Structure 1
Amino acid sequence: MFWEEEREENPVYRVPDDVVDVVYSIRCKCLPLDHAHSFSRAVCDALPWMETEAQAGIHLIHGAESGNGWMRPEDPERELLYLSRRSRMSLRVPRHRVDEALALAGTVFDIEGHRLEVGEGKTRRFSTQSTQFARYVVVPGEIGHEDEEAFLRWAAEQARGLDVRVRKMLCGRAHVIRHPDGELYTRSLMLADLEAEEAVRLQQSGIGSHRKMGCGLFLPHKGIRAVHEVSADQA
């Protein structure tokens, strides 16, 4: 007789909602190209708990990338980032702060003289997409900001500390963000071939410092080729 017990199927992974992104429509014509610090201060003044919530983060606002005859501005001292009606503002918040974050609708921020009106917000759970991308990860002070290999070793160690296995990882060119205490040297970072749980953990915890200035926050991405295209746009 041949007898084989039915195998128990792996349960479907359900994305937890203990940390989510709150995504808002906005009305804003333009912002300073480097608005990280001024935007962070405005949001934290309106939501003081942001600064003490370890898993909270403030995504920077982005316009279009270079393409179709339009060149993205690159001079943070003088140039402006022009936004479209499709531009969005996003905050990463723990579940118990969602209602307070949603109450931000109707707030008007003054970002270095530019008016930003916050519209209605909606919650969005994290993605299980296998490729995750952070535009800005702060390079630790003990690592030379031009030492790409040292940065990758450090980033891999941080990922493993989150129980994220590093299979494919790529960093992009360096980017400088203005800060009153001194410039922040950052690099973009992509991790690919992640399991669903790993992708979510990476979004929940992030890598590196200055999450309230848009750094270390991961979002789903199309893949390695698209990351190369973003790096080329930023070059």
Structure 2
Amino acid sequence: MISDIPPRVDISFRLAAKLAPLDHGYALFSALCRLLGDLHGAEWLAVHPLPGTPRPDGLLAVDGRRGLRLRVDPAQIPRVLPLAGKWLDIGGHAARVGVSSVFPLASASTLRARLVTIKGFLEPEPFLEALQRQLDAMGVAGRPTAGRRRVLDVANDKVVGFGVELHGLTEDGALRVQALGLGGRRRMGCGVFVPATVDEASAGREHAS
């Protein structure tokens, strides 16, 4: 039932930034902790990967209009609002946080996440089996597919995961996955799902091939 899904919204901040590391999940989380305090146990928080265009030198040309997006319990919005006007150091690249807007989660039959990590599952087939078990435990009917293998650097520890798309979701299932996430390290940009349009889903499969 939708009524038992934990309340979550996305709060999006404009971001005055040109570049960030392409693998920026740990660096961005560390930057947020420096401004907001220790967030390691913050189950109410997930951090979206920064939007932008990958460059061949391992950097991301940041799309500042889409900016910094956090998925939070609405009761915690006052905790993150002080980010506005502050400077983030994201792996040695400066970014100034701007004004914010709040968006409700939107249902979609197809969701995607840039990176999902499940400890101990490094190959596509067993990874998908583990992912399906998580969906079953959540009571979500959907068909997961794994895309490109990706690596997250966490304090010099390499964490392996995959891009993921979920297909055939109900409204309840889509909202539940977005609210709860899948896998670990959601405060570092992993397991954070967003609706995929037909064009986005096709582009994601092409990019992952």
Normalised to the residue count of structure 1, the TM-score between the two structures is: 0.81
Find the counterpart in structure 2 of residue 198 from structure 1: 173
Hey, what's the Cα distance between the residues in 1 that align with 2:118 and 2:103? 28
Hey, what's the Cα distance between the residues in 2 that align with 1:107 and 1:123? 18
Paired letter, 1:59: H
Find the counterpart in structure 2 of residue 150 from structure 1: 126
Query: Are residues 1:230 and 2:209 paired?
Result: no
Unmatched runs of 5 consecutive residues or more in structure 1? 1-12, 65-71
> CA contact under 8 A between 2:12 and 2:68: conserved in structure 1?
yes
The one of 117, 120, 136 equivalent to 1:138 is 117
Task: Mark the CA change 1:85 to 1:207 in structure 2 (over 3 Å): closer, same or farther.
Answer: closer
% of aligned pairs identical? 27
Hey, what's the Cα distance between the residues in 1 that align with 2:200 and 2:80? 31
SS of residue matched to 2:12:
strand
Task: Mark the CA change 1:169 to 1:51 in structure 2 (over 3 Å): closer, same or farther.
Answer: same
- 1:42-70 CA-to-partner distances (Å, cap 9, x unmatched) read 11222236322213111121213xxxxxx
SS of residue matched to 1:209:
coil
Find the counterpart in structure 2 of residue 45 from structure 1: 34
Find the counterpart in structure 1 of residue 13 from structure 2: 24
In proportion to residue count, which structure has more strand? 2
SS of residue matched to 1:198:
helix
Normalised to the residue count of structure 2, the TM-score between the two structures is: 0.90
- 1:161-200 CA-to-partner distances (Å, cap 9, x unmatched) read 111112x221102011111251010101111121111111
> CA contact under 8 A between 2:12 and 2:66: conserved in structure 1?
no
Query: Are residues 1:128 and 2:107 paired?
Result: yes
Find the counterpart in structure 1 of residue 45 from structure 2: 56
Task: Mark the CA change 1:30 to 1:205 in structure 2 (over 3 Å): closer, same or farther.
Answer: same
Paired letter, 2:128: L
Unmatched runs of 5 consecutive residues or more in structure 2? none
Hey, what's the Cα distance between the residues in 2 that align with 1:59 and 1:108? 18
Query: Are residues 1:88 and 2:64 paired?
Result: no
> CA contact under 8 A between 2:6 and 2:180: conserved in structure 1?
no
The one of 47, 53, 73 equivalent to 2:55 is 73
Give the drift of 1:228. 4.2
> CA contact under 8 A between 2:55 and 2:61: conserved in structure 1?
no
- 1:105-136 CA-to-partner distances (Å, cap 9, x unmatched) read 10111223211000111111111111111110
Hey, what's the Cα distance between the residues in 2 that align with 1:52 and 1:83? 28
- 1:9-48 CA-to-partner distances (Å, cap 9, x unmatched) read xxxx79x782111111110011122111111101122223
The one of 12, 16, 33 equivalent to 2:22 is 33
Find the counterpart in structure 2 of residue 110 from structure 1: 89
Root mean square deviation, CA, Å: 2.2
Equivalent residue pairs, number: 208
Paired letter, 1:28: A
Hey, what's the Cα distance between the residues in 1 that align with 2:25 and 2:116? 13
Paired letter, 1:153: E
SS of residue matched to 1:45:
helix
